[in-house]
Structure 1
Amino acid sequence: MAIPKLGDYLRSRRAQVTPRDVGLPEGGQRRVPGLRREEAAMLARFSASTTTCGWGRAASGGRRRRSWRP
């Protein structure tokens, strides 16, 4: 799946879930419906930077980074 299509898919899935659905506080005004990218990443135990810029590698200049694990 191409990156732009993947981004569209992920945005559409986030829009279908509200913070209340997953036990998060609703917390103010939202520009788009559904979960914020950071909220979805937190629930999936990903870094929010991993979900942007080519899955994190491009954001880090191609360097490998250790991912945080709880």
Structure 2
Amino acid sequence: MVSIPDLENYRKDAVAGFLRTRRARIDPDACSPAFDPVGDRRVAGMRREEVAWAARISFDYYVKLEQGRMLNPSHRC
């Protein structure tokens, strides 16, 4: 018997994984108001706050996107 994948979870996991991998590839922007040159970084790349600031979206909204809690995120024009 062939099992049908859970498309809703696949979509959430795909979006969350995409955002995490891209965030890890980007070097922090020293011009960002969220940039902290003194603090120790636990992950490579930008912090969530820095990505949200650069994307001009709220930190909470970005966290929901990255955690896969937004099923139908809106786009900005």
Q: Give the TM-score taking structure 1 as reference length.
A: 0.63
Which of 12, 15, 21 is matched with 1:6 structurally?
A: 15
More helix by share: 2
Q: Which amino acid aligns with 1:9?
A: F
Identity %: 35
TM-score in terms of structure 2 length: 0.58
Structural RMSD (CA)? 2.3
**Structure label with greater radius of gyration:** 2
Q: Distance in 1 between matches of 2:47 and 2:19?
A: 11
Match of 2:41 among 30, 37, 46: 30
Which structure carries more relative contact order (alpha carbon 8 Å, separation 6+)? 2
1:27 CA drift (Å): 3.6
**Amino acid of the structure 2 residue aligned with 1:5:** A
Which residues of structure 1 form unaligned runs of 5+? 56-70
**Counterpart in the other structure of 2:56:** 45
